[in-house]
Amino acid sequence: MSQLALPLQWPADPQDNEFLVTSSNAAAVQLLEHWATWPVRAALLVGPRKSGRSLLARIFAAKSGGTLLDDGDRVAEATVFHAWNIAQEGRRPLLIVAEAPPPEWSVRLPDLRSRLAASPLARIGPPDEALMAALLQRLFLRRGLDARLDLVDWLVARIERSHLAVMRVVDALDEAALERRRRLSIPLARTALGAAGLLNQEE
């Protein structure tokens, strides 16, 4: 596992400016690192909610001197179209961030549709086991919760494989530990997450 961090002019807190890299997102990171080889000066970065796509885009913009258009699938198509054209004219890379690429992202303007089709696609996939464990450890640390490795391993094997699920699980365990005034443990997690419907399987 490796990490990408924003340059020093960005907030230095590693909880806020470091993007964890594993096999689930390494291809996307590699494509962004080699932006000079793109066939056009624009690319799409897509990924599920809470996957760190906006953070990765900010890192890219800071390191490449490029620009980013976050939530590109939610802004006016004319805005995306003009940003794409400006990037070509100015030879300055543009990264368009969205939850999914076309055709899942419905694009009406034919000219924009063709431009996006010509743009490289960087895709963040569902987190693998290594990233799940790292995200859980980071969030537990951020909350000041003492979560031992056996609990983290137990959770990785039993919760939904998604970035959003990791956040919901940590929220639920934080609340359960506070209410019961108990340290985190596998029995506590089994009870709290089972009641919340956040376990895929039980022992």
Q: What's residue 3's pLDDT?
A: 72
How confident is the model at residue 17, as a pLDDT?
65
Predicted TM-score (pTM) of the model is 0.86
Of the candidates 66, 71, 24, 68, the one whose C-alpha atom is nearest the C-alpha of residue 46 is 71
Residue 15 near residue 53, CB atoms below 8 Å: no
Integer Cα distance of 21 and 27 in angstroms: 10
pLDDT in tens, 83-142: 999 999 999 999 999 999 999 999 999 999 999 999 999 999 999 999 999 999 999 999
pLDDT along the chain (203 residues), means of 10: 57 60 94 96 95 93 94 96 98 96 95 97 96 95 94 97 96 95 95 95 54
Give the pLDDT confidence score for residue 16 in this predicted structure.
Answer: 54
Characterize the bridge pairing of strands 18-21 and 67-69: unpaired
- 5, containing H or E segment: strand 2-5
Helix axis angle, 163-180 relative to 186-196, nearest 10°? 110
Residue type at position 26:
A
